Amino acid sequence: MPEEGKEGSDQDIVRLYQEKDELGEQIRRLDQKKIERLEKYNDELEKRAEWLDKERIKAIKERDNFKKQVKNFRGKKWTNSLKMVITLVLIDLVLLPLLVWLLRIPSQWIFICIGIITFFGILLISNYMSGTSPLNNGEIRKAITSSFVVTYFAFVPLVTFGSVNIPTDEPIKTIVTNFTWIVGAIVIFYFGSRAVEEYVKVKNS
């Protein structure tokens, strides 16, 4: 019996060693799979990091190109606006007086034409510079104020120095004074409304 017990114990020990070796092999296989999975995940992360770097470089290039386009667009915008202003000045100072003289139109009509052309010209220029599709109140205020001011600066010297005769019973001085008050009220209203708008914006923000 002791020999049989000893043989049984030896078999148990051998079996335990086998189980130990099998467990060790399983652990090694699991570790290998885990290592392979981690390596695969690491490769995917590296590829994603490279892709993100490429996308970041691409985004930086697109941003720089966009800035250049915006800068060039602003430059072109100011150039086009300057051309529009010069065209408007030439129409008011050269073309209108020439048409009035050639067509024998009464000289008083020059002030009406200057006011109308200046109003729509400033309205178009303001809308072009702001880049908004519908007209807003600020652009209309600019156009009204500019048209009255330009007409005033054309009216006062031409009428005062007798270049244009206005048939009226009122003295020229009275007409100029009343027109000055009207232009002054419009200019004050323009700057006052701008100040009120800025105050409302600041208060709301």
pLDDT at 168 over 70: no
Given 24, 55, 76, the domain boundary residue is 76
Q: CA-CA distance, 18 to 21, in Å (whole number)?
A: 5
- My answer on whether 56 and 119 are in the same domain is no
Closest CA to 14 of 25, 22, 30: 22
Q: What are the distances in angstroms from CA 16 to CA 2, 7, 23, 94?
A: 21, 14, 10, 113
- My answer on whether 61 and 139 are in the same domain is no
Higher pLDDT, 69 or 150: 150
pLDDT (average), residues 6-20: 70
Q: How many domains, in total, are found in the chain? A: 2
pLDDT (average), residues 106-132: 84
Higher pLDDT, 146 or 29: 146
pLDDT at 193 over 70: yes
pLDDT score recorded for residue 25: 79
pLDDT at 172 over 50: yes
Residue 136 lies in a domain: yes
pTM of full prediction above 0.85: no
- My answer on whether 65 and 112 are in the same domain is no
Q: CA-CA distance, 80 to 96, in Å (whole number)?
A: 22
Virtual torsion, Cα 50, 55, 61, 64, nearest 10 deg: -130
pLDDT at 136 over 50: yes
pLDDT score recorded for residue 181: 92
Residue 90 lies in a domain: no
CA 110 centroid distance within chain: 38
The total number of residues shown for the chain amounts to: 205
Q: CA-CA distance, 14 to 12, in Å (whole number)?
A: 5
pLDDT score recorded for residue 173: 77
Q: What is the pLDDT of residues 26-68, one digit of tens each?
A: 888 888 888 888 888 888 888 888 888 888 888 888 887 777 6
pLDDT score recorded for residue 73: 62
Q: What is the pLDDT of residues 79-113, one digit of tens each?
A: 888 888 899 889 888 888 888 888 888 877 888 88
- My answer on whether 60 and 122 are in the same domain is no
Map tokens 């009220």 to a residue.
Answer: 185
- My answer on whether 140 and 55 are in the same domain is no
pLDDT at 205 over 80: no
